[in-house]
Amino acid sequence: MDALKRQAAAHALREVESGMKLGLGTGSTAKHFVDLLGEKVRAGLKVVGVPTSEATRAQAEACGVPLTTLDEIDHLDLTVDGADEINPALDLIKGGGGALLREKIVASASDRMIVIADESKWVARLGRFPLPIEVIPFGLAATRHAIAAAFAKAGVSGQMDLRKSADGHVFVTDGGHWIVDVRLGEIEDPPRLAGLLSAIPGVVEHGLFIGLGSTAILAGAQGIRVIQ
């Protein structure tokens, strides 16, 4: 599986040209991309990157990829990131690694987003992977109540679990927020659910990425598949 992730990352690297401003994703697949990008940079490629997490920042710095921020620049040419699920409309579930907020800000600031993954992430319908919802700790019970109401309106339901770290403590995002993961099974209308969740004050962001992916590069046993 890791070899497939690296193949997808290597394929995406072909889209990178000197002078580009890049969004750098988070997760095990995006990690391969940053690693391979670092090799190119050390060989003379001139790019600048905006990392989507502190983990990616540390990796990119260690690889020698020059970094900037979306305070210093206001737009990116291309973001390359992984996903937890990808459907045929190239809508995504992201946030398994907890970086969904910065990932969405970076993808939204990019002309193009290439999603890299192994074939197991390709689904007919989103929802098998628990949907991450980043929430403000203040008023959590009220926010959960509002999320449940949004689910009812969208015709879905599922158990909400507050994400914990391996040490048993509540998982805290790079932005200082918490994450609620929800097992929905199947989301009939992802854009509608995305809109309903975005309207809840205690929800900082959710893992439905609607209309952001421009290309998916999927690596499988039969080779690479590119979907636009």
> With contacts defined by CB under 6 A, how many residues of the chain interact with ligand 5RP?
18
For the question of residue 119 being annotated catalytic, the response is: no
Coil, strand or helix: which one is 98? Answer: coil
The helices-and-strands tally (H runs, E runs) of the chain is: 6, 13
Q: How far is the CB of 44 from ligand 5RP (least distance, A)?
A: 28
100 binds ligand 5RP (CB under 6 A): yes
Q: How far is the CB of 162 from ligand 5RP (least distance, A)?
A: 17
- CA distances 48 to 42, 44, 72, 133, 197, Å, are 13, 12, 12, 30, 33
Contacts of 218 (CB under 8 A, 6+ apart): 8, 86, 117, 118, 119, 121, 122, 224, 225, 226, 227
Per-residue interface string for the shown chain with ligand 5RP, residues 54-83, x marking contact by CB under 6 A? ---------------------------xxx
Q: Is 25 annotated as a binding residue?
A: no
Q: Name the DSSP class of 212.
A: -
Q: How far is the CB of 154 from ligand 5RP (least distance, A)?
A: 21
Q: Is 167 annotated as a binding residue?
A: no
Q: Is 150 annotated as a binding residue?
A: no
Q: Is 195 annotated as a binding residue?
A: no
Positions touching ligand 5RP (CB under 6 A) are: 25-30, 81-84, 94-100, 103
